[in-house]
A and B are shown apart, each in its own frame.
Chain A
Amino acid sequence: MAKRSAAVMLITPAVILAVCSGIIAGASYIPVQKIKAAADLVFSANAGHEQINEIKYTEKEVESQLDNGSKIIYPSFGAQYATIKIDSIDLEAPVYFGSTDELLKLGVCQYLGSVFIGEKGNVVLDAHCNTFFLNLGDVKVGDIIVLTTSYGEFTYKMKESTIFKETNNELIAPTADDRLTLYTCYGNLLGPTEDRLAVICELVEKKFYD
């Protein structure tokens, strides 16, 4: 009898715990399922916080063939895949795939919504007005711009320049013709500006390496 009492005494808190846990689990199942998707999204970082702070640029490139049979090597995000040369303003700078604050410090950047150098359409490159594109406004009609990649060399001629608002995406949109659009911030005074300077160039020569 005493042993049975002792056994009941020991088991009872476990029974209470099991019953209460069961009730809580049952009652909270639907609310938890509703919140879970959102919570998992907010707390879904795979790496530790230290790694999240570093942007790791992959080095994998992808070789492919265009419709005309020419070989193109697609760069990975953050990779330097070309150089730009404009003799008239004494500019020679690396071109990176992607346009982030970190990459803009390193060189001229390719706008991600534009085609790759060598593909048909509008190649859009940007850089800061106080660094690599400091003298972009001095490029004149007829000046030559050369983009050199590991798979070819592409020559453009300056056609026109224009000032536009940063909210106007017309000049950086895809085009049917082959062109190069270089753009940067525009303003005579200090501080942030909504104006952009675009230098639009037409393609004059495509030379893919064998």
Chain B
Amino acid sequence: MKHLEKYIPNLLLTIILVFALIGVEGITFAKNQLMRSQPYIETVEKNDVALKSMNAIEKYFKDSENYSGIPADVYMSAITEEDIKRMIDMKINNAFDYINGSASKYDEMQFDFTKLEKSLSDYFAEFAEKNNVEIDDAYNQQLKKTIDTAESEISNFTDVYMLKMIEKTGAFSKLNKLYGFVNPLIYISAGLTAMFIIIIIIISRKNFLYWISSALLCSSAIALILCLYFKLSGYLDKLVIRNDYIYSAVTGMLNGTINKYIVLQTGIFAFGIILMAIYIIICKKTSSIDKNSN
């Protein structure tokens, strides 16, 4: 009966502690992994997304040769893979600067396209000279339209996380408002976790290690089961977007996040096992001391 008096409160506290642990781990992980630009930029680098984007740009301009009359080389000679990488990084950084409040509004990108503009202008001038085309308003308008179209298309191909589409849904301004609550949520959930641990220690001085390790094992098991389901089923690899560069970036980020969370939860699970093992060893030593004294 005495055991039951302590067992049920400990059981209930441990159940609540499991949720507190899931909360604090989840929010802290999300803040470090999903609410910063660095993991997204690292994914782009790891999955050669800039090269894939470059290939897509080259294919686009090669396909457009048939109706624009402008060889793809005119465009491709003016941009490098490094330029594409910088554009991709710039867009990601600009998005997160707005979300975390560093910037007051979202500016998609300001990239220097001087080389591209010169390449196109030179080609147009060459064409005009060869074909006796008059340099008039129509000419200048068409040149400007061609440059604007090229810049816009290149910009689209460097939007590997579809940030423009996400921004149009109003998600950025919502995230910007929510961002301010992240740190308080972390403190609250960490505080609750610490509080429940202290209560368990107070109620169950001899067995607190058992209850805390049980909470750690259960919280990590729940997270691991979910993550392993997504990982082993290949659910995230069935992304319908065909563009290679977007597919690589988005699935790379999703799979990378899941992998990191699996590593984190495996570590917590292992810590739980260690605590449980320590508890069992202490129990055995205590019971053998009691036997000897009896």
The residues of A with any CB-CB pair to B shorter than 8 Å are: 8-9, 12-13, 15-17, 19-21, 23-24, 41-46, 48-49, 52-53, 101, 104-105, 128-131, 185, 187-193
Contact = CB atoms under 8 A, between A and B. Distances in A.
A96 B22 CA distance: 57
9 A-B pairs with least C-beta separation = A191-B146, A128-B66, A13-B214, A43-B238, A189-B142, A45-B238, A185-B67, A17-B218, A190-B69
B240 A20 contact: no
Nearest to B64: A192
Interface of B: 7, 11, 14-15, 18-19, 63-70, 123-124, 127, 133, 138-139, 142-143, 145-146, 149, 210, 214-215, 217-219, 221-222, 225, 235-240, 242, 244, 247
Nearest to A13: B214
Given A49-B247, A190-B69, A16 B218 contact: yes
B15 A20 contact: yes
Contacts of A21: 222, 225
Contacts of A19: 15
Nearest to B280: A9
A13 B218 CA distance: 7
B116 to A, nearest CB: 13
Contacts of A49: 237, 239, 244, 247
Nearest to A52: B242
B66 A130 contact: yes
A52 B242 CA distance: 6
Nearest to A43: B238
B18 A20 contact: yes
A188 B139 CA distance: 10
Given A13-B217, A131-B66, 19 more contacts: A8-B7, A15-B11, A16-B214, A16-B215, A19-B15, A20-B15, A20-B218, A20-B222, A44-B238, A49-B247, A101-B63, A128-B66, A188-B133, A189-B139, A189-B142, A190-B123, A191-B68, A191-B124, A192-B64
Nearest to B63: A101
A147 B214 CA distance: 78
Among B139, B143, B149, B221, find the residue whose CB has the most chain A CB atoms closer than 10 A.
B221
A188 to B, nearest CB: 7
A23 B221 CA distance: 15
B67 A129 contact: yes
Given A17-B218, A49-B237, A190 B14 contact: no
B22 to A, nearest CB: 8
A191 B221 contact: no
A101 B61 CA distance: 12
A191 B147 CA distance: 9
Contacts of A104: 66
B67 A42 contact: no
A144 B69 CA distance: 28
Given A20-B15, A42-B240, A44-B240, A190 B66 contact: no
A16 B149 contact: no
A160 to B, nearest CB: 23
Given A16-B11, A16-B215, A128 B67 contact: yes
Nearest to B145: A191
21 contacts: A8-B7, A13-B218, A16-B18, A17-B221, A21-B222, A21-B225, A23-B19, A46-B238, A49-B239, A105-B66, A129-B66, A130-B67, A130-B69, A189-B127, A189-B142, A190-B123, A191-B69, A191-B145, A192-B67, A192-B146, A192-B149
